[in-house]
């Protein structure tokens, strides 16, 4: 089974930086994904890490440490449209199924 | 189509009714998944198809839940004798390939409310 933990809620100011942490305990590891989900909408892919280190994509960066079972998603230069739920998901050794955390609701305030 | 399409978007059922939820994946996507998402929670895996073969149905909560993908494209999730605890958003996702880096593309979901 999977155990994926992330904070429930975070609040930040427009233009600021927010870091969303995710810890996981899985039987095997085959990649970690971050998805963004606006209320009532489909989750959309943000990032994928399978090797240790930082992956940067515009205002979003994701970091992975496999030895620590830890990842974070960094959102820079926050905009109001970044208010959403951010889902951490792990693919374990089965190579196809994603297991999701409960999501972190980020609220961006003016 | 351009994305994963699900229908109906909203379904209200009386307890005991049967419901069928449809998913039209992105053309050419081999892998198809069904997830259940309760309010305020992350998606929970239900079942996985590779083409028409259902390779994993370990997440289906009971034998009232049944999924099929007979021609390897459109899939239907059927729930028989619905119960209140079945109320959730049912998300369908597809992927071009399995394995590393195979990101999932999600539909907007079918929100089921059982009264």
Q: Do A41 and B99 touch (CB under 8 A)?
A: no
Nearest chain B alpha carbon to A31 = B100
CA distance A108 to B102: 30
pLDDT the model gives residue A32: 94
Band of pLDDT at residue A53, cut at 50, 70 and 90: very high
Residue B100 to residue A101, Cβ atoms within 8 A: no
Q: What is the pLDDT of residue B5?
A: 96
Of A54, A56, A59, the residue nearest A76 (C-alpha): A59
Predicted pLDDT at B42: 94
Quickly state the pLDDT bin for A28 (edges 50, 70, 90): confident
Contact check, Cβ <8 Å, A102/B101: no
How many angstroms separate the CA atoms of B10 and A102, rounded? 23
CA distances from B101 to A90, B98, B107 (A): 12, 8, 19
| SS3 call for A82 | helix
Q: What is the CA radius of gyration of chain B?
A: 13
Tell me: pLDDT of A88 over 70. yes
When the pLDDT of each residue in chain B is averaged and rounded to a whole number, the result is 93
Answer whether B100 touches A (CB < 8 Å).
yes
Across the interface, whether the CB atoms of A42 and B106 are under 8 A apart is answered: yes
| Residue spans of beta strands (DSSP E) within chain A | 3-5, 9-13, 18-25, 32-37, 44-49, 53-57, 60-65, 70-75, 84-91, 98-100, 104-109
User: How does residue A97 score in pLDDT terms, banded at 50, 70 and 90?
Assistant: confident
Instruction: For residue range B12-26, list pLDDT tens digits in order.
Output: 999 999 999 999 999
Q: Is B8 in CB contact (< 8 Å) with chain A?
A: no
pLDDT 10s per residue in chain B (115 long)?
Answer: 589 999 999 999 999 999 999 999 999 899 999 999 999 999 999 999 999 999 999 999 999 999 999 999 999 999 999 999 999 999 999 998 764 457 899 999 999 999 9
Q: Is the pLDDT of residue A76 over 90?
A: yes
**Residue A46: its pLDDT value, please?**
95
Across chain A, what does the average pLDDT equal? 94
């Amino acid at each position: 089974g999977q155990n994926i933990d992330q904070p429930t809620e975070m609040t930040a100011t427009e233009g600021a930086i927010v870091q969303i942490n995710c810890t996981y305990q899985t039987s095997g590891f085959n990649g970690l994904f971050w998805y963004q989900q606006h209320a009532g909408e489909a989750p959309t892919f943000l990032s994928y890490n399978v090797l240790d280190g930082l992956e940067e994509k515009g205002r979003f960066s994701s970091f992975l440490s496999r030895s620590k079972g830890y990842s974070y998603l960094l959102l820079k230069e926050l905009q109001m449209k970044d208010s959403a739920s951010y889902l951490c998901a792990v693919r374990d050794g089965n190579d196809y199924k994603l297991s999701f955390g409960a999501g972190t609701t980020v609220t961006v305030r003016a | 189509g351009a994305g994963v399409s699900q229908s109906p978007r909203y379904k209200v059922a009386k307890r005991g009714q049967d419901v069928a939820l449809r998913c039209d994946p992105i053309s050419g996507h081999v892998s198809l998944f069904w997830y259940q998402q309760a309010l305020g929670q992350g998606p929970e895996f239900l079942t996985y198809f590779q083409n028409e073969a259902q390779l994993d149905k370990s997440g289906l909560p009971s034998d009232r839940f049944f999924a099929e993908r007979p021609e390897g494209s459109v899939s239907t999730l059927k729930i028989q004798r619905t119960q209140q605890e079945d109320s959730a958003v049912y998300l369908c996702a597809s992927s071009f390939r399995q394995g590393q880096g195979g990101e999932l593309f999600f539909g907007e979901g079918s929100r089921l409310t059982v009264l």
